[in-house]
Chain A
């Protein structure tokens, strides 16, 4: 059974860089890694997706080591509005099932 684990919570201050890691030990060869942000009472919102090495878009970067058993979401210069729960999502190897990580509750302090 796939296990996709994340730190339960993190605190940061405005303007700092935040790195959140997800461990996904059963990722399949052809699966991508996707990260989502969720605010209370809302659906998850897509942040970034990658397969290997590094991906960057206008809001975040995603670092994936060669073995792909983990990934790190990097949020540059967080603001108060980045306070949310962050989830990684990977496919369960050999199936069509998707596994969300346990979620990391990020709190950004002024």
Chain B
């Protein structure tokens, strides 16, 4: 059973460009979470999605950031008009069950975004 997959693993963007980060959950998991880790800091919750639904996006900046988890295909975290402060590692996790009951979240290897 393949683990959570994220791509690309490394992404370099110039200021003002768009970044698209992809996450394929583990087989059978229909719940996806995105977290951001700034350099030398801890992980911060961004958004929780189920297939075709955003359940909680309270940790995501109101502007420039969006996330989706379509019926088919990976979950996408999209950052428009990137700025240097967006440089971070972005981790995706998936879980097999309903989000209000916390079950193990399995994490991907992360995408390291560098904004130049």
Which residues of A are at the interface with B, using a C-beta cutoff of 8 A?
A: 30-32, 34, 36, 41-46, 49, 87, 89-91, 95-103
B63 within 8 Å of A (CB atoms): no
Q: In this complex, what residue of A is CB-closest to B46?
A: A97
User: A96 — which chain B residues lie within 8 A by C-beta?
Assistant: 48, 55-56, 99-100
The CA-CA distance from A99 to B58 in the complex, in Å, is 12
The CA-CA distance from A45 to B108 in the complex, in Å, is 9
Count how many pairs of residues, one from A and one from B, have CB atoms less than 8 Å apart in the complex. Answer: 67
User: B99 — which chain A residues lie within 8 A by C-beta?
Assistant: 96
The CA-CA distance from A43 to B110 in the complex, in Å, is 6
The CA-CA distance from A43 to B107 in the complex, in Å, is 6
What per-residue 1/0 map shows which CB atoms of B83-94 lie under 8 Å from chain A? Answer: 000000101010
Best-buried of A30, A43, A102, A103 by chain B (most CB within 10 Å): A43
User: A46 — which chain B residues lie within 8 A by C-beta?
Assistant: 104-107
Which residues of B are at the interface with A, using a C-beta cutoff of 8 A?
A: 4, 33, 35, 42-45, 48, 55-56, 58-59, 89, 91, 93, 99-110, 112
Contact assessment for A101 and B42 in the assembled complex, using a CB-CB cutoff below 8 Å: yes
User: B55 — which chain A residues lie within 8 A by C-beta?
Assistant: 96
Best-buried of B43, B56, B104, B110 by chain A (most CB within 10 Å): B43
Distance in Å: Cβ of A101 to nearest Cβ of chain B? 7
User: B102 — which chain A residues lie within 8 A by C-beta?
Assistant: 31-32, 34, 49, 89-91, 98
The CA-CA distance from A36 to B35 in the complex, in Å, is 14
Q: In this complex, what residue of A is CB-closest to B42?
A: A103
Partner of B105 from the list A30, A42, A89, A102 (CB cut-off 8 Å) is A89
Contact assessment for A43 and B105 in the assembled complex, using a CB-CB cutoff below 8 Å: no
User: B112 — which chain A residues lie within 8 A by C-beta?
Assistant: 41
Best-buried of A36, A44, A96 by chain B (most CB within 10 Å): A96
